[in-house]
Chains A and B, each alone.
Chain A
């Protein structure tokens, strides 16, 4: 099992550009979520999904869209990048029987200039 795979690992965008951060898991987990981590702020929930076709907003959803067309994939879209979206982004997954909690991807370091 590869676990949770995030691509790309690094990205530089210009203000106003759009892009999609990819997240895929091969553990058949129901629950997937996206977080951003900024210095001094901890990890904050952006969007989450409780299964294919079902998504909802977290703490800081503005400027981001998600979709969950399959159990495996949960992409995060930045529609018009802003410097305030410079951050490290983590994707995570779990299932409802997993007492070992959420598995995190290795992260995407995004810089918006």
Chain B
């Protein structure tokens, strides 16, 4: 398998901050994506990291360490609508075009 690991479930309270971790094998790495998926819907793009460091986009930030095979997605000021599955995916191989996904982290935000 592709060994992309992320927690299965997380819960948090409205207004809080949550960090979802993702670890992956480092071979053939072309970039790491985070997607949000609500039940019954298609994944929607949240962030993309190809270089080490932090990418910030509004309430969402994503961090990458290529040498450690580690990324996290940080969600701030949580809202009820953030309850969804968060998917970590690695673009891997000699060419672009192949995404390998973790099993997703189901986040539940409580009022």
> Footprint of B on A, CB under 8 Å?
30-33, 35, 40-45, 48-50, 58-59, 90, 92, 94, 96, 99-107
A42 and B2 alpha carbons, distance in the complex (Å): 12
Given contacts A40-B103, A102-B33, contact A31 B96 (CB under 8 A): yes
Check A48 against B33 for contact (C-beta < 8 Å): no
Query: What 4 A-B pairs have minimum CB-CB distances, sorted nearest first?
Result: A31-B97, A42-B103, A104-B42, A43-B101
Check A45 against B48 for contact (C-beta < 8 Å): no
Indicate if B54 sits at the interface (CB-CB under 8 A).
Answer: no
Indicate if B100 sits at the interface (CB-CB under 8 A).
Answer: yes
CB-CB under 8 A from B2, the residues of chain A are: 59
> Footprint of A on B, CB under 8 Å?
1-2, 33, 41-45, 48, 50, 87, 89, 95-104
Check A99 against B103 for contact (C-beta < 8 Å): no
Closest to A103 in B: B45
Given contacts A42-B101, A42-B103, A102-B99, contact A90 B43 (CB under 8 A): yes
Closest to A43 in B: B101
Given contacts A43-B43, A105-B42, A107-B42, contact A48 B97 (CB under 8 A): yes
